[in-house]
A and B are shown apart, each in its own frame.
Chain A
Amino acid sequence: MSDEQHVLSILVEDRPGVLSRIAGLFSGRGFNIESLCVANAAQEGISRITLVTWADSVIIEQIIKQLHKLINVVKVNDLTEAPAVFREMALIKVSAKPEFRAEILRIVDIFRCKVVDVSAEHYTVEVTGDQGKIAALLDLLKPMGIKEVARTGITALSRENKNGH
């Protein structure tokens, strides 16, 4: 059985220690966390955690069951199986030597991202998209010299059924 990437969307009660319960579950049982993204959900007192992990089918079944077992976890969805939208945001600080500036701005334009901070030597670029888009942008900017990257990790929502059912 081979490992596959799974994006889990977890609704939890917004209580102290919830995140460490989840992190502790993964470390204690030897599951891995590739990325983790946490913020308030639509309902009062509920947070949504989007967690990306790699696992085979037996392990992912255990992970989901174990998450359900935590008292503060309200709901767990594996978005890998359902139609869903996935997005990640990254801030990329790239060195902006005069001879590269035009090129960087051209790339920024093509990728429909934004320069959010400018200094004498750097541009900070904000990009949102799926993982493929961010990887492609990083590839293109690499030759100019990437100083720092901050990524949010994937966040995701399942798609509504188009037929309205």
Chain B
Amino acid sequence: MNILVCLSQVPDTTTKISFTSDNKELNKAGVQYIINPYDELALTKALELNEASGGGSITVVHVGGADAEPVLRKALAIGADQAVRIDTAPMDARQVAAEIAHFVSSASFDLVLAGRESIDYNGGLVGGMLAEYLDWPLVNVATSIEGGAGGSMIVCRDMDGGREKLEVYLPAVITCQKELTEPRIPNMRGIMAARTKPLQVLAPQGKGADMHVLEHALPPSRQACRFFEVHQMDELVEALHQQAKVL
């Protein structure tokens, strides 16, 4: 299959978040960027699907600036065949989705995989918007993906209070949840090969963003912890009941 994997780059999960003095953006000093964990799963799943069927090619796409190229190279080292960067600084999910949709319509993909959400802006929106732009089916939050009969895929997805197994015909957009697979670590051969794999930079099609951040803030700090001894469980329960009013 020809599979497209949408990659976002996000601050490493251990990053202590702070904002610039005008609170307009993230304070990037010392921040390490990684492939969004769900996108890494999407990439690994794409490799597994093509290994199982014995063919096809995998493209990774990122909408953003040149600072994301190390992350794209890493994806090539893990096993993607080619990378595409759409050169703009997106401000919201709709802008990202519109750019990717434009790229997809100029190519021929059977399947687009994205993460369930990015762990920076946590929208969980790009996959669904992309599916609508393309008028393709969407399966959100997939925990397993397997090839079915006659060009269909069998997918399990998380839903409120349970899980659903469903069949979807290609082409489709599927967003990936953990449990799908385990991420792969690039080996030396992959890292060498990545240097010569194509990384294409495309001009944006130019849709602007709808949503603009006014300001960022840190969550309100919490009051100091009130401690109870092991023999004071009635007092703790009383505090939860009377003071916090949560019991």
| A, B: real partners | no
- Mark B residues whose CB is within 8 Å of A: none
Residues of A within 8 A of B (CB): none
